Every structure is written in C-alpha cells, then in structure tokens.
Amino acid sequence: MPDADIAALGFFAFCWLFYEPLIKTLSRDGLLNSDMTVIRGAWMGEMSRRESRFMDGQLLGHALNSASFFASSNLLLIAAAAGVLFGGEKAFASISSLVLIKTSTRLLFELQLSVILIVLARGLLDFIWSIRQMNYCLTIFGATPEDPAAPAGLRAAFAEAAGMILNPALSSFNAGVRGYYFALAAAAWLFGPVSMIIATLGAVSLLVWRQRHSSAARAIRTLRRTLEEPPAQP
C-alpha cells in the first residue's frame, strides 16, 4: 500500500478513535452534549413530580423511533457495502473503472470498503445499545410513583436513576449519528488519500463547530446557566 494511503488511514483512525475522548476533555469548557446532560437532569426531575407522564413517554418514544430508523438505515448501508466488498473481481472492475475512483489494487479497494464497514458496524452497535437503554428508561418512567404523597426522596431516586440511564442512552445515539460523518470520510478514501484527509478534517471540524459554536449550542448553554443559577432570595 502506498505511503500516502497509510498516512491517510492512520490520520483517519486517530481522529475516529480519539474524537470522543477529546470531546469529553473539552466538555469541561461547555459543549452541547455536556450541557444537555443538565437539561435532561431537569427533565427527569420534572418527570418524577408529574402525576401524568404521557408526555414524557411520548418524547422518549420519539427518540426511540429515531434511533430505530437510523439503525435500520445503517443496516442497509452495511449490507450494500458488504455486497460490493464480497462481489469479487467483477465488483472491483466496475468500481475501479469510474473516472473519479482512485484505487490501485483490489487489496486496497477491499481495505477501503472494510474501513467503511467497520465504522458503520460500530455505529449500528451504538444505536442498538441506545435503543436498549431507552427501553430501560421507559421502565423507570412506568415505575415512578404517581401518588402525590410519595416521599420526595423516593421521587428523587427515580429521577436520578432515569437520568443516569437516559444520558448514556442519548450519548450512544449521538455516537451512532457521528458514525455517519466518519463513514463519509472513510468513503472519501475511494477518491484518494488526500480526499480522505480533507474529508476527515472537515467532519471533525463540523462536529466540533456544532458542539461549541452553533446556535443550538449557544441556546442550550444559556439555558444551562439559567438552570444552574442559585434561586433568587425573596
């Protein structure tokens, strides 16, 4: 394999594997994902105090449907990429005949598709784990006492447990969605190592910008600060 392809693959692997630890380190300065943990905590607190939790179930059901949709789409993409990967010499000849595709050997071509498959498979596992955790959270919703006379400590315990499951569940969902960004960057390798490096840089830059500087990130950051402000003295 040419040195340029090795360098591109190494750069991609570094960004893909270390993006999440980097984001967790930067989250100390305030990122969309870390700010959302506070918002979800407030949601779970309100959920535990409501007599009717129909709306809470509907909201979480919407997230479940979204995760299921992405998981199904991911599975279709995996099947398509695997079909090409195991299509033999005919598939390689068809793809390599395209003008923009830059793959010198069948071994390189199979490695390129394998990287795409690995990224998509990791995303699928994230979606599956997200769906399972959200189902656990729905169970907690159902078990939270509706009696207004229930002890506040008991309600707080249910709210804390729900938050401890919901935040990782939606973090897994976010990781699955993020896999699409890196899958596109991996697919850019078919157009050459330079394209892969540029696409990887673009994916990481876009993800970081959306976490720190997008209008959604600014709005959530402002709301988090409001929630964390000490209550005004009467």
- How do residues 67-97 score in pLDDT, each as one tens digit? 999 999 999 999 988 888 777 676 666 666 6
Average pLDDT on 129-141 reads 94
Contact 203, 97 (CB under 8 A): no
Exposed e or buried b per residue across 32-65, where buried means at least 16 C-beta atoms within 10 angstroms of its C-beta: bbbbbbbebbebbbebbeeeebeebbeebeebbe
Residue 34 has a pLDDT of 86
Encoded amino acid at 12, one letter: F
CA 183, distance to chain mean position in Å, is 12
The model's confidence at residue 234, banded by pLDDT at 50, 70 and 90, is: low
Residue 150 has a pLDDT of 82
Determine the Cα–Cα distance for residues 117 and 31; give it in Å rounded to an integer.
29
Degrees to nearest 5, angle at CA 90 with 88 and 94: 125
Q: HSE, CB side, 13 Å, CA atoms: give it for residue 83.
A: 6
Contact 43, 154 (CB under 8 A): no
**pLDDT greater at residue 67 or residue 230:** 67
Determine the Cα–Cα distance for residues 60 and 139; give it in Å rounded to an integer.
11
Examine the pLDDT at 112 and tell me if it is beyond 50.
Answer: yes
Average pLDDT on 32-47 reads 90
As a whole-number percent, the residues of the chain with pLDDT over 90 amount to: 47
Closest C-alpha to 52, from 149, 151, 147: 147
Average pLDDT on 54-60 reads 88
Q: At what angle do helices 106-143 and 152-187 cross, to 10 degrees?
A: 170
**Largest Cα–Cα separation, the chain:** 77
The model's confidence at residue 99, banded by pLDDT at 50, 70 and 90, is: very low
Domain coordinates in residue numbering, the chain: 3-226
Encoded amino acid at 41, one letter: G
Examine the pLDDT at 26 and tell me if it is beyond 80.
Answer: no
